[in-house]
Amino acid sequence: MGGTGPGPVTDPRTALLPREFFAGPSLQVAPRLLGCVLEHQTADGLVAVELTEVEAYEGSADPASHSYRGRTARNGVMFGPPGHAYVYFTYGMHFCVNLVCLPEGTSSAVLLRAGRVTEGAALAAARRLAGRAGAAVTDRDLARGPARLCQALGIDRAQDGADACDPGSPLRIRPGPASPPGPPPASPSAGTLPRVSRGPRVGVSMAADRPWRFWLTGDPTVSAYRPWVPRTRPKPVSPPAAEGGTIGR
Protein backbone atom coordinates (compact mmCIF):
# COMPACT_ATOMS: atom_id res chain seq x y z
CA MET A 1 0.00 0.00 0.00
CA GLY A 2 1.31 3.50 -0.81
CA GLY A 3 4.63 2.11 -1.98
CA THR A 4 6.51 5.39 -1.80
CA GLY A 5 6.87 5.64 1.95
CA PRO A 6 10.35 4.77 3.20
CA GLY A 7 9.19 4.15 6.76
CA PRO A 8 9.04 0.76 8.42
CA VAL A 9 5.95 -1.36 8.11
CA THR A 10 4.04 -0.77 11.31
CA ASP A 11 0.53 -1.60 10.28
CA PRO A 12 -1.14 -2.52 13.57
CA ARG A 13 -2.90 -5.38 11.85
CA THR A 14 0.40 -7.03 11.00
CA ALA A 15 2.44 -5.99 14.04
CA LEU A 16 3.53 -8.78 16.35
CA LEU A 17 3.91 -8.79 20.09
CA PRO A 18 7.39 -7.48 20.94
CA ARG A 19 9.80 -9.87 22.57
CA GLU A 20 9.71 -7.75 25.74
CA PHE A 21 6.13 -8.89 26.15
CA PHE A 22 7.56 -12.27 27.20
CA ALA A 23 10.33 -10.88 29.40
CA GLY A 24 8.36 -11.31 32.62
CA PRO A 25 7.46 -14.42 34.58
CA SER A 26 4.84 -16.67 33.03
CA LEU A 27 2.36 -15.85 35.79
CA GLN A 28 2.42 -12.24 34.64
CA VAL A 29 2.47 -12.97 30.92
CA ALA A 30 -0.24 -15.65 30.89
CA PRO A 31 -3.32 -13.49 31.59
CA ARG A 32 -2.09 -10.85 29.18
CA LEU A 33 -1.98 -13.39 26.36
CA LEU A 34 -5.73 -13.81 26.57
CA GLY A 35 -7.27 -12.11 23.58
CA CYS A 36 -4.02 -12.17 21.61
CA VAL A 37 -3.96 -13.93 18.25
CA LEU A 38 -1.79 -16.91 17.32
CA GLU A 39 -1.55 -17.59 13.60
CA HIS A 40 0.16 -20.29 11.56
CA GLN A 41 0.85 -19.93 7.86
CA THR A 42 1.37 -23.15 5.92
CA ALA A 43 1.18 -24.21 2.29
CA ASP A 44 -2.47 -25.11 2.90
CA GLY A 45 -3.36 -21.66 4.15
CA LEU A 46 -3.57 -19.51 7.26
CA VAL A 47 -5.37 -20.35 10.49
CA ALA A 48 -5.61 -17.82 13.32
CA VAL A 49 -7.04 -18.19 16.81
CA GLU A 50 -7.81 -15.67 19.51
CA LEU A 51 -6.55 -17.16 22.77
CA THR A 52 -9.20 -17.74 25.41
CA GLU A 53 -7.46 -20.06 27.88
CA VAL A 54 -3.83 -20.42 29.03
CA GLU A 55 -1.78 -21.94 31.86
CA ALA A 56 1.44 -20.73 33.46
CA TYR A 57 4.33 -23.10 34.11
CA GLU A 58 7.47 -22.21 36.00
CA GLY A 59 10.84 -23.93 35.98
CA SER A 60 12.72 -25.54 38.83
CA ALA A 61 10.17 -24.26 41.35
CA ASP A 62 7.19 -25.92 39.65
CA PRO A 63 6.88 -29.72 40.03
CA ALA A 64 4.28 -29.79 37.23
CA SER A 65 6.64 -28.23 34.70
CA HIS A 66 8.51 -30.22 32.08
CA SER A 67 11.63 -28.28 33.07
CA TYR A 68 11.32 -29.06 36.78
CA ARG A 69 14.18 -31.56 36.68
CA GLY A 70 16.45 -29.50 34.49
CA ARG A 71 17.27 -29.25 30.86
CA THR A 72 16.88 -32.21 28.51
CA ALA A 73 16.77 -32.68 24.77
CA ARG A 74 13.00 -32.48 24.86
CA ASN A 75 12.54 -29.28 26.86
CA GLY A 76 15.58 -27.39 25.58
CA VAL A 77 13.52 -24.64 23.98
CA MET A 78 12.08 -23.71 27.38
CA PHE A 79 15.55 -22.62 28.44
CA GLY A 80 16.06 -20.53 25.31
CA PRO A 81 15.10 -16.93 24.55
CA PRO A 82 11.54 -15.72 25.20
CA GLY A 83 8.89 -15.52 22.52
CA HIS A 84 9.71 -18.90 21.02
CA ALA A 85 7.32 -21.85 20.80
CA TYR A 86 7.92 -24.96 22.88
CA VAL A 87 6.01 -27.81 21.25
CA TYR A 88 5.86 -31.24 22.85
CA PHE A 89 4.28 -34.56 21.99
CA THR A 90 2.24 -36.39 24.59
CA TYR A 91 -0.08 -39.34 25.11
CA GLY A 92 1.31 -40.95 22.02
CA MET A 93 -0.75 -38.79 19.68
CA HIS A 94 -1.13 -35.18 20.72
CA PHE A 95 0.90 -32.00 20.43
CA CYS A 96 0.71 -29.01 22.77
CA VAL A 97 2.27 -25.57 22.32
CA ASN A 98 3.75 -23.12 24.83
CA LEU A 99 5.28 -19.67 24.49
CA VAL A 100 8.54 -19.26 26.39
CA CYS A 101 8.94 -16.48 28.97
CA LEU A 102 11.83 -14.92 30.88
CA PRO A 103 15.38 -14.50 29.56
CA GLU A 104 17.52 -17.24 28.17
CA GLY A 105 18.77 -19.64 30.82
CA THR A 106 15.49 -19.78 32.72
CA SER A 107 12.58 -21.99 31.81
CA SER A 108 9.08 -20.71 32.35
CA ALA A 109 6.40 -20.86 29.68
CA VAL A 110 2.69 -20.42 29.01
CA LEU A 111 0.68 -23.37 27.71
CA LEU A 112 -1.91 -22.31 25.13
CA ARG A 113 -4.99 -24.31 26.07
CA ALA A 114 -7.82 -23.00 23.90
CA GLY A 115 -8.86 -20.35 21.42
CA ARG A 116 -11.53 -19.11 19.07
CA VAL A 117 -10.75 -19.55 15.39
CA THR A 118 -10.93 -16.17 13.66
CA GLU A 119 -9.44 -17.09 10.28
CA GLY A 120 -9.20 -20.28 8.25
CA ALA A 121 -12.07 -22.10 9.94
CA ALA A 122 -12.57 -24.40 6.97
CA LEU A 123 -8.93 -25.50 6.98
CA ALA A 124 -9.02 -25.92 10.76
CA ALA A 125 -12.11 -28.11 10.51
CA ALA A 126 -10.56 -30.21 7.76
CA ARG A 127 -7.51 -30.87 9.95
CA ARG A 128 -9.63 -31.71 12.97
CA LEU A 129 -11.76 -34.15 10.97
CA ALA A 130 -8.94 -35.77 9.02
CA GLY A 131 -9.28 -39.52 9.24
CA ARG A 132 -12.73 -39.39 10.80
CA ALA A 133 -15.23 -39.89 8.04
CA GLY A 134 -18.74 -38.92 9.02
CA ALA A 135 -17.71 -36.99 12.09
CA ALA A 136 -18.47 -33.32 12.60
CA VAL A 137 -17.02 -30.47 14.60
CA THR A 138 -18.60 -27.20 15.69
CA ASP A 139 -16.81 -23.87 15.40
CA ARG A 140 -16.74 -23.74 19.17
CA ASP A 141 -14.80 -27.01 19.41
CA LEU A 142 -12.24 -26.26 16.68
CA ALA A 143 -9.52 -25.19 19.11
CA ARG A 144 -11.10 -26.04 22.47
CA GLY A 145 -8.27 -27.81 24.30
CA PRO A 146 -4.49 -27.70 23.88
CA ALA A 147 -4.20 -30.66 21.51
CA ARG A 148 -7.18 -29.54 19.45
CA LEU A 149 -5.67 -26.06 19.18
CA CYS A 150 -2.46 -27.53 17.79
CA GLN A 151 -4.33 -29.74 15.36
CA ALA A 152 -6.49 -26.86 14.11
CA LEU A 153 -3.40 -24.74 13.53
CA GLY A 154 -1.35 -27.58 12.05
CA ILE A 155 1.29 -27.32 14.77
CA ASP A 156 3.61 -30.27 15.37
CA ARG A 157 7.18 -30.95 16.39
CA ALA A 158 8.43 -29.06 13.32
CA GLN A 159 7.36 -25.81 15.02
CA ASP A 160 9.34 -26.53 18.21
CA GLY A 161 11.59 -23.52 18.65
CA ALA A 162 9.78 -21.30 16.15
CA ASP A 163 10.10 -17.61 16.96
CA ALA A 164 6.59 -16.24 17.35
CA CYS A 165 7.91 -12.65 17.53
CA ASP A 166 9.60 -12.84 14.11
CA PRO A 167 7.47 -11.52 11.23
CA GLY A 168 9.26 -13.99 8.95
CA SER A 169 8.19 -16.97 11.02
CA PRO A 170 5.21 -19.03 9.86
CA LEU A 171 4.05 -19.18 13.48
CA ARG A 172 3.34 -15.73 14.90
CA ILE A 173 1.70 -14.06 17.88
CA ARG A 174 0.08 -10.67 17.61
CA PRO A 175 -1.94 -8.41 19.87
CA GLY A 176 -5.64 -8.96 19.97
CA PRO A 177 -8.15 -6.41 18.73
CA ALA A 178 -8.62 -5.18 22.29
CA SER A 179 -5.07 -5.43 23.60
CA PRO A 180 -2.50 -2.73 22.84
CA PRO A 181 0.96 -3.72 21.60
CA GLY A 182 3.97 -3.13 23.77
CA PRO A 183 5.30 -4.60 26.98
CA PRO A 184 2.85 -5.13 29.80
CA PRO A 185 2.63 -2.24 32.26
CA ALA A 186 4.67 -2.69 35.40
CA SER A 187 1.79 -1.59 37.55
CA PRO A 188 -0.48 -4.39 38.70
CA SER A 189 -3.30 -1.90 38.96
CA ALA A 190 -3.90 -1.92 35.23
CA GLY A 191 -7.61 -2.49 34.97
CA THR A 192 -7.63 -2.76 31.20
CA LEU A 193 -7.89 -6.55 31.07
CA PRO A 194 -11.15 -8.09 29.94
CA ARG A 195 -12.79 -10.22 32.58
CA VAL A 196 -10.36 -12.95 33.40
CA SER A 197 -10.99 -15.92 35.68
CA ARG A 198 -8.32 -18.10 37.25
CA GLY A 199 -8.23 -21.53 38.80
CA PRO A 200 -6.21 -24.72 39.12
CA ARG A 201 -4.45 -26.17 36.10
CA VAL A 202 -6.04 -29.02 34.18
CA GLY A 203 -4.80 -32.58 34.32
CA VAL A 204 -1.69 -32.00 36.40
CA SER A 205 -0.96 -34.33 39.29
CA MET A 206 1.74 -32.22 40.94
CA ALA A 207 1.13 -28.79 42.47
CA ALA A 208 -2.54 -29.16 41.62
CA ASP A 209 -3.40 -26.46 44.13
CA ARG A 210 -1.73 -23.61 42.28
CA PRO A 211 -4.35 -21.47 40.49
CA TRP A 212 -2.22 -20.84 37.44
CA ARG A 213 -4.85 -21.36 34.75
CA PHE A 214 -6.40 -18.23 33.23
CA TRP A 215 -9.37 -17.90 30.91
CA LEU A 216 -11.82 -15.35 29.51
CA THR A 217 -14.79 -15.45 31.82
CA GLY A 218 -17.78 -17.12 30.26
CA ASP A 219 -16.16 -17.76 26.88
CA PRO A 220 -17.68 -20.88 25.27
CA THR A 221 -14.39 -21.98 23.70
CA VAL A 222 -12.75 -22.52 27.09
CA SER A 223 -12.10 -26.20 27.72
CA ALA A 224 -13.97 -28.10 30.38
CA TYR A 225 -12.12 -28.35 33.67
CA ARG A 226 -11.06 -31.89 34.48
CA PRO A 227 -9.19 -32.55 37.70
CA TRP A 228 -6.36 -35.01 37.67
CA VAL A 229 -7.39 -38.61 38.24
CA PRO A 230 -5.09 -41.56 38.79
CA ARG A 231 -4.67 -43.49 35.59
CA THR A 232 -6.17 -46.94 35.50
CA ARG A 233 -3.66 -49.43 34.28
CA PRO A 234 -4.46 -51.08 30.99
CA LYS A 235 -5.61 -54.62 31.40
CA PRO A 236 -3.24 -57.16 29.84
CA VAL A 237 -4.86 -58.87 26.87
CA SER A 238 -3.52 -62.22 27.96
CA PRO A 239 -3.02 -62.90 31.64
CA PRO A 240 0.59 -62.87 32.79
CA ALA A 241 2.33 -66.14 33.41
CA ALA A 242 1.26 -68.03 36.50
CA GLU A 243 3.06 -67.70 39.81
CA GLY A 244 6.63 -68.71 39.69
CA GLY A 245 7.07 -67.25 36.23
CA THR A 246 10.43 -66.26 34.92
CA ILE A 247 9.82 -62.53 34.70
CA GLY A 248 11.59 -60.08 36.96
CA ARG A 249 14.53 -61.76 38.58
Partner DNA sequence: CGACAGATGCGCT
Partner DNA sequence: GCGCATCTGTCGA
* Residue ranges that bind DNA, judged by CB under 7 A: 55, 57, 64-67, 69, 72-75, 78, 86, 89-94, 96, 98, 109, 111, 128, 132, 135, 137, 141, 145-149, 201-205, 223, 230-235
Strand-pair category, 196-199 with 171-174:
unpaired
Burial class (CB within 10 angstroms; exposed 0-12, middle 13-18, buried 19+) of 171: buried
CB of 203 to DNA, least distance (A): 2
Q: Which is nearer to DNA, 13 or 233 (CB)?
A: 233
Cβ atoms of 17 and 173 within 8 Å: the answer is yes
CB of 66 to DNA, least distance (A): 4
- Other Cβ atoms less than 10 A from the Cβ of 72: the count is 11
Q: Which is nearer to DNA, 157 or 167 (CB)?
A: 157
CB of 216 to DNA, least distance (A): 17
Helix (H, G, I), strand (E, B) or coil at 76: helix
Residue type, 123: L
CB of 25 to DNA, least distance (A): 14
Integer Cα distance of 111 and 213 in angstroms: 9
Cβ atoms of 176 and 16 within 8 Å: the answer is no
Q: Which is nearer to DNA, 70 or 194 (CB)?
A: 70
CB of 96 to DNA, least distance (A): 5
Helix (H, G, I), strand (E, B) or coil at 151: helix
Q: Which is nearer to DNA, 13 or 235 (CB)?
A: 235
Q: Which is nearer to DNA, 72 or 217 (CB)?
A: 72
